[in-house]
């Protein structure tokens, strides 16, 4: 049996040496539906993957992994905006480059986020002051049992911080097949984070923001092709104003980001760094030395190494700050997704 297992190493950016009983790359909705229905018929677990950039395999997967390669970009123009209809299997960063090259702005802050377009709504990806929900018009979702596709408006997607309806009622038995983006012609630059605040609002261009974001990400984040990682491992915690105030009193340099609902977002990377965890390792896994929010596969790490490291990071931050970090990365067990907080608690 083991000789028939298929390696998942090429399909996860942590570069973990896990395997699955079957790996199928699909390029059409019909193929995707057929493979899923066949797996259901055989009572086999199924995992839908894009580029595996936000996945941690805890062990070998005892079923079929379907890799979504649905491609294609269509553009329509209205009086005030560009409307992009993008296949779920398109690479996200290449889409950002494509949009800039064609004069559509609005995605530049989201440059260099790893993964494919279909994964973007699940997490409501965000960076440097912009989230997917700011540019999303709709998401096309396939009901895998019936083979029918329905279109959810951005409002119906129930986007939250690293959250959406696709993590809840549309998680099992559904697949995102396309995403609709609305990029307004009247461009408003977002320059609230990092080096972007140094740019001149009067003369700044989308390309300058794109270049600055790429530069910041490249300087802090390891390239998954060289060092296995899944980008930001933990969500930035959101706390009430009182807790944020007490943190600021004890640590005047603590970065605080007030939210619309009166709560305050903290920087998980800063919290981890203040626990002197940069470079800290367990087995083959380590906290990245340039960006503490990133856990890396330093030396042939296993899923268990990364779990043990994440547990240690969570405990140390929790005992020092009374803030309990939650993984942003999805944890995949032998038969499907597991509760990440439960695994590392």
Is residue 105 annotated as part of the catalytic site, yes or no? no
Tokens in use for 125?
Answer: 């990806």
CA distance 182 to 191: 20
Catalytic annotation, pick one of 51, 90, 328, 330: 328
CA distance 47 to 307: 20
Q: Which of 170, 138, 180, 132 lies closest to 155 in space, CA to CA?
A: 138
- Strand 336-338 and strand 61-68: the pairing is unpaired
Q: Using CB atoms within 10 A of its CB, is residue 266 exposed (0-12), middle (13-18) or buried (19+)?
A: buried
Is residue 39 annotated as part of the catalytic site, yes or no? no
CA distance 28 to 147: 12
Catalytic annotation, pick one of 162, 217, 316, 330: 162
Q: Which of 210, 213, 249, 217 lies closest to 232 in space, CA to CA?
A: 217
In the block, residue with structure tokens 């605040």: 197
Catalytic annotation, pick one of 232, 314, 316, 330: 232
- Strand 46-49 and strand 61-68: the pairing is parallel
Is residue 330 annotated as part of the catalytic site, yes or no? no
Q: Which residues are designated catalytic?
A: 162, 232, 328
């Amino acid at each position: 049996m083991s000789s028939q297992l298929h390696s998942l190493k090429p399909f996860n950016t942590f570069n973990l040496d896990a395997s699955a009983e079957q790996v199928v790359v699909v390029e059409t909705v019909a193929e995707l539906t057929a493979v899923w229905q066949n797996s259901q018929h055989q009572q086999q677990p199924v995992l839908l993957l894009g580029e595996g950039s936000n996945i941690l395999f805890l062990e070998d997967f005892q079923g079929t992994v379907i890799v979504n390669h649905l491609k294609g970009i269509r553009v329509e123009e209205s009086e005030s905006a560009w409307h992009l209809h993008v296949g779920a299997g398109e690479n996200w960063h290449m889409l950002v480059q494509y949009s800039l090259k064609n004069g559509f702005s609005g995605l530049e802050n989201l440059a260099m986020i790893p993964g494919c377009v279909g994964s973007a709504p699940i997490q409501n990806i965000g960076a440097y002051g912009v989230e997917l929900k700011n540019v999303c018009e709709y998401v096309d979702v396939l009901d895998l049992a019936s083979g029918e596709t329905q279109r959810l408006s951005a409002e119906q997607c129930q986007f939250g911080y690293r959250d959406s309806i696709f993590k809840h009622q549309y998680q099992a038995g559904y697949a995102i097949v396309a995403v609709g983006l609305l990029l307004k012609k009247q461009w408003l630059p977002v320059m609230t984070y990092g080096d972007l605040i140094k740019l001149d609002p009067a003369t700044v261009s989308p390309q300058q923001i794109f270049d600055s974001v790429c530069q910041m990400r490249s300087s802090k984040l390891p390239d998954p092709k060289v060092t296995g990682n899944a980008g930001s491992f933990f969500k930035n915690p959101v706390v009430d104003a009182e807790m944020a105030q007490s943190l600021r009193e004890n640590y005047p340099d603590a970065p605080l980001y007030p939210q619309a609902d009166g709560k305050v977002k903290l920087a998980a990377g800063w919290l981890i760094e203040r626990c002197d965890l940069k470079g800290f390792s367990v087995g083959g896994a380590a906290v990245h030395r340039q960006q503490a929010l990133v856990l890396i596969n330093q030396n042939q790490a296993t899923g268990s190494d990364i779990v043990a490291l994440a547990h240690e990071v969570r405990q140390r931050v929790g005992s020092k700050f009374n803030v309990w970090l939650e993984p942003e990365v999805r944890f995949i067990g032998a038969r499907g997704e597991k509760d990440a907080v439960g695994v590392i608690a």
